[in-house]
Amino acid sequence: MDRIISSSQQQSLISTHKVLRNTYFLLGITLAFSALTATLSTVYALPSPGLILMLVGFYGLMFLTHRLANSPAGILAAFAFTGFLGYCLGPILSSFLAAGMGDVIAIALGGTALVFFCCSAYVLTTRRDMSFLGGMMMAGFVVLLVAVVANIFLQLPALHLAISALFILFSAGAILWETSNIIHGGETNYIRATVSLYVSLYNIFVSLLSLLGFASKD
């Protein structure tokens, strides 16, 4: 009986490591692809897709990726999703470069990488179950949604900065939760896990750009 339990645990551990390895591999190449589309969008000064088109593309491609996550086509959908968001970054990066704030982009990239490394390393080394964050994440999402909608009408700089800071905290929590979910067997699909982690990294990077850009203004 002990051997059966041990064998079952071993198979579960192997499966978990496989999901984690595939997630990090796919995350790495989708980030590279997203960086490529962002670079092309910046170099060729492609126009911003606008809020409506960006939201439609974001949620449409995310839905498509989740729908196809259990098939090889899900990988193509993940590339389409991350590539589209990379394209959306182009106009933002162009505005920073035009303002002579290329250093802000570099700092935001470094800060994003640091947050991801620290959050992932904490969960992977302690193997702590972060499922308790689920309820807090849901509450945080509601707060962020209300704040974003309110700021569409209010256009308050202070509220915009607060939203950016909250997005960083929320996304860091999402990285902790998703990584824990993978290593404890709650997430067995590496495509869904990749998209979740990518969105968190994207939000952290854009939010850091916003905060650092504001702080760099004369």
pLDDT at 175: 96
Q: Find the DSSP H helices in the chain.
A: 2-43, 50-67, 73-98, 102-126, 133-154, 157-183, 190-216
Read off the pLDDT band of 82 (50, 70, 90): very high
pLDDT at 5: 45
Read off the pLDDT band of 217 (50, 70, 90): low
Structure tokens at 209: 């750009």
Average pLDDT, the chain: 90
Q: Is the pLDDT of residue 218 over 70?
A: no
Rounded to two decimals, the pTM is 0.92
pLDDT at 4: 46
Residue 148: CB atoms within 10 A of its CB come to: 14
pLDDT at 202: 97
pLDDT digits (tens, 9 = 90+) for 171-207: 999 999 999 999 988 889 999 999 999 999 999 999 9
Collapsing DSSP to helix, strand or coil, 89 comes out as helix
pLDDT digits (tens, 9 = 90+) for 37-64: 999 999 998 998 888 899 899 999 999 9
Could you tell me if residue 155 is left (phi over 0), alpha (psi between -120 and 50 degrees) or otherwise beta?
A: left
Q: What is the mean pLDDT of residues 23-34?
A: 97
Could you tell me if residue 129 is left (phi over 0), alpha (psi between -120 and 50 degrees) or otherwise beta?
A: beta
Q: Is the pLDDT of residue 66 over 50?
A: yes
